[in-house]
């Protein structure tokens, strides 16, 4: 009896501590279709899946190469490069070219040894059309609100599983994105994301509620561009990037 009580006591304590460590917000709106608030720390943590790490997919012949380890010509206000990697610094960078529906590949890593806690230390993101964030975060051994972890559609949908590599290791995103379709000023087809993280599906054709927001519900604007630059987020963390390419998805012949 004593042993049981002790076990119960200690497991309750560790649960409380684990929960207390997860930062988040509870004063935010409820996300439609869920019972969770935006950035809800109590949302279930995605199951951890170990992977072999980044898929290093070389650009196919019809790809538009955005970063090959050397040239940053594809970028406005380009970031610094060192040893064949592009390092997030000072401000967001965005492509000179605009895109709509795309397939995209990129590899990223958070340098080893950098202190990481919650949203801090290892944060960046891919903003498709400059508006729809696919979160980049060092989420291995680092809990945060699930709609803000690696592979999340930030502020809306956590990844299906947590496929994040250990810090210091390269990781890959392979995604397809479709922009929203408007008819007579109304969204008839929301923006759509399919995402593989280290080769593991983490977003399976999910629909964006609108352009990404922090602490607010996304909402589609009345007017929306047909194409827009892809933006990479500078969140004051030196997240590194390599092997970035896109293929516009064109209608079938």
Cα gap 178→189, rounded to integer Å: 9
Cα gap 177→68, rounded to integer Å: 22
Structural tokens at position 100: 């709509």
Name the residue number minimizing CB distance to Mg ion. 125
Contact 189, 179 (CB under 8 A): no
Pick the piece of the chain touching Mg ion (CB under 5 A) from 116-124, 181-189, 205-213, 220-228.
116-124
Spatial CA neighbour of 50 closest among 213, 159, 209, 164: 164
Give yes or no for residue 121 binding Mg ion (CB under 5 A): no
Pick the piece of the chain touching Mg ion (CB under 5 A) from 44-52, 87-95, 119-127, 182-190.
119-127
CB of 240 to Mg ion, least distance (A): 15
Give yes or no for residue 158 binding Mg ion (CB under 5 A): no
- Output 123 or 142, the one with its CB closest to Mg ion: 123
Cα gap 79→88, rounded to integer Å: 6
Angle at Cα 31 formed by Cα 29 and Cα 34, nearest 5°?
A: 130
Spatial CA neighbour of 122 closest among 39, 237, 23, 232: 237
CB of 130 to Mg ion, least distance (A): 14
CB of 155 to Mg ion, least distance (A): 10
- Member of 24, 125, 159, 218 binding Mg ion (CB under 5 A): 125
Give yes or no for residue 238 binding Mg ion (CB under 5 A): no
Applying the rule CB under 5 A, the residues between 204 and 233 that interact with Mg ion are 233
Q: What is the x/- site pattern for Mg ion, positions 75-114, by CB under 5 A?
A: ----------------------------------------
- Output 93 or 123, the one with its CB closest to Mg ion: 123
Q: Residue 6: what are its φ and ψ, rounded to 5°?
A: -65, -45
Please list, residue by residue across 63-98, b when 16 or more beta carbons sit within 10 angstroms of its beta carbon and e when fewer do: bbebbeeeebebbeebbebeeebbbbeeebbbbeee
Could you list the residues that contact Mg ion (CB under 5 A)? 123, 125, 233
């Amino acid at each position: 009896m004593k042993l049981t009580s002790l076990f119960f006591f200690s497991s309750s304590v560790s649960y409380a501590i684990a929960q207390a460590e997860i930062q988040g917000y509870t004063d935010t709106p409820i996300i439609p279709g869920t019972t969770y608030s935006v950035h809800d720390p109590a949302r279930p943590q995605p199951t951890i899946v170990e992977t072999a790490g980044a898929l290093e997919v070389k650009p196919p012949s019809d790809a538009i190469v955005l970063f090959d380890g050397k040239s940053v010509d594809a970028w406005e206000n380009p970031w610094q490069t060192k040893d064949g990697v592009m390092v997030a610094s000072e401000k967001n960078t965005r492509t000179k070219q605009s895109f709509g529906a795309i397939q995209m590949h990129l590899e990223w890593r958070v340098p080893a040894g950098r202190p990481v806690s919650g949203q801090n230390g290892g944060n960046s993101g891919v903003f498709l059309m400059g508006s729809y964030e696919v979160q980049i975060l060092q989420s291995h051994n680092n809990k945060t609100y699930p709609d803000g972890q690696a592979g999340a559609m930030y502020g809306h949908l956590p990844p299906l599983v947590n496929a994040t590599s250990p810090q210091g290791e390269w990781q890959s995103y392979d995604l397809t994105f479709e922009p929203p379709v408007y008819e007579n000023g109304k969204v008839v087809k929301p923006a759509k994301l399919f995402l593989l993280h280290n080769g593991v599906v983490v977003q399976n054709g999910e629909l964006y509620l609108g352009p990404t927001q922090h602490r607010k519900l996304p909402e589609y604007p009345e007017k929306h561009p047909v194409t827009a630059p892809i933006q990479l987020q500078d969140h004051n963390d030196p997240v590194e990037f390599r092997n970035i390419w896109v293929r516009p998805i064109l209608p079938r012949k």
